[in-house]
Structure 1
């Protein structure tokens, strides 16, 4: 009769994961624009060529960029008060943004 091996103890080691930090086209367009100046949410939609710029901004934040969203009161085309979001890149994140733009997918 054969003996069973004892059950492993402790955490099971995981295979090393490669973290992908390269930017897709929408990310790249947004980062380039944010390096130039603050942009409104509507501008971000046009720049990213998507109707969900907050999603792409969130992904950039997950990649390490500090992007603020300030609400500023304005009047819309009908004279109504609105508070659009304006995205701006934190000065601390400028080197990170430039590094992300320089990285190339392998």
Structure 2
């Protein structure tokens, strides 16, 4: 599910459906994000965490996407939700350096754990 996209004026926007999904999550949330160069295995890593071979899909432009449902985990007796974020590959052929920095920065700021 797309979380952040760019509108026609090139401004970053939150997708309302994703915001609604995040609001429904109860309790603590940890966010794991994967960011890096395009076509370097980000989807593979996320799908390994999910335990699926076909969870996240490769997309030409998706900005930042979240898995449609957080994974439930328990650590030290506390249940929390693990939210996975896939960032669009940075430094791809159609991106400017500023845009790559913005995607990278957004991903870092949203993450509890950054890969």
Q: Provide TM-score, normalisation by structure 2.
A: 0.29
Q: Of the two, which has the highest radius of gyration?
A: 1
Q: Provide TM-score, normalisation by structure 1.
A: 0.30
Answer 1 or 2: higher relative contact order, Cα 8 Å, separation at least 6.
Answer: 2
Normalized per residue, which structure has more helix?
1
Normalized per residue, which structure has more strand?
2
